[in-house]
Amino acid sequence: MSMGLCFVGKRDFSEFLLEYLQPRPGNFVSIEDGKVLGTHKGCFLYTFGQKAKLRNCSRAWFVVDKNISSGEVFVAPSRDHPALYRDLLRTNRVHWIAEEPPAELIQNKMMECNFRFQHLMALVPCTLTLNQDGSVWLTLAKPIRDLTAGQFAVFYKGDNCLGSGMILRLGPSVFTLQQGKNRETAGVNVPADEVTVQPTK
């Protein structure tokens, strides 16, 4: 979801959506410890990186993930929290301006180029991996903030636009990867019979 729509004007965007969509209440949940911090009127009102409106919280919290089926909106206590950063995504079938993928991508199944997913953002170096169904995996040179499913990844070589594809899937966040490494380290240092298996959420 975009942060806003130009034709809505200066009115509250959430209130505008609720005039047309039924509220689907759920919980705000801390990504760090799973604590419930408050409630909301629907996951569709929030996008990654957006400030969450939490009552009785003196610090600012930001949306880092959503579970549509459970209605949970996961939040983190920092605008630059590692849960907001990712370096991997998959698109749907790419629409190439030349109608076919670049020759380099067809031949090697991989190609370095640049991309953006917002109109005003700077181009970011990435590597594309072509899938049999015409979609691509996109791997970034370094993680960036606020990648969001449903937005379009647009690919460039120099100043030339090559094509675009809708973002369907996101790789794990930097925070998730850090948590995995921490568990692996704990597993090395703790005797095997004392390692606690964490339940899947």
Strand duo 61-67 + 72-76: pairing? antiparallel
Q: Give me the architecture of the 83-179 domain, per CATH.
A: Beta Barrel (2.40)
**pLDDT tens sequence for the chain (201 residues):** 445 555 555 556 566 555 666 668 899 999 999 999 999 888 888 889 999 988 888 889 999 999 989 999 999 999 999 999 999 999 999 999 999 999 999 999 999 999 999 988 999 999 999 999 999 999 999 999 999 999 999 999 999 999 999 999 999 999 999 998 776 665 544 333 332 223 333
pTM of the complete model: 0.78
Note the Cα 32 to chain centre separation in Å.
Answer: 17
Beta bridge pairs of residue 89: 138, 170
Strand duo 152-157 + 136-145: pairing? unpaired
**162 Cβ neighbours under 8 A, 6+ residues apart:** 96, 97, 98, 102, 113, 155, 156
Q: Where in the chain is the domain with CATH 2.40.30.10?
A: 83-179
Q: Looking at domain 13-79, which of 3.40.50.2300, 1.20.120.420, 2.30.30.280, 1.20.1510.10 is its CATH number?
A: 2.30.30.280
